[in-house]
Amino acid sequence: MLIAEGSHAEHLPYELERREGALTQLRILEDVEKTFEIYRCVCRRGDAILFSDKAAHCTGQNRSGLPRISGIIRYVDATSAKRFQPMMTFSYKDSPDLAEKIGGGAGAPAE
């Protein structure tokens, strides 16, 4: 994993890059290496890396011959985020049986 130090504090112009069978990527339109110091994160199987989603980052070349698998979890303050659109929503009202399974509705918001 390569991360550009301080890039989270600036808006970097980008374009969308779509490839069939792959996730859509945001391709930065300027030479990040000329503007920011690049840090290489040494990652081992099972490691977790936390950084701002606004930080310019990418993976290095995969030389292992094995496919990479990753998961992304993002925290977004929906009260202040512009154009926030959740990918998935959940309500205990939609699934009362699940609320019961986790302890009689424990953790479910009060009505």
Among the ranges given (26-30, 54-58, 73-77), the one the predictor scored with the smallest mean pLDDT: 73-77
Mean pLDDT, all residues of the chain: 77
| Per-residue pLDDT at 92 | 60
Alpha-carbon gap, residue 81 to 77, rounded angstroms = 6
Alpha helix stretches (DSSP H) within 55-95: none
Please say whether the beta carbons of 6 and 36 come within 8 A. yes
Q: Would the pLDDT of 38 be above 80?
A: yes
Bigger pLDDT: 15 vs 91: 15
Q: Which residues contact 88 (CB under 8 A, 6 or more apart)?
A: none
Asked if residue 55 lies in contact with residue 8, where contact means CB atoms within 8 angstroms, the answer is yes
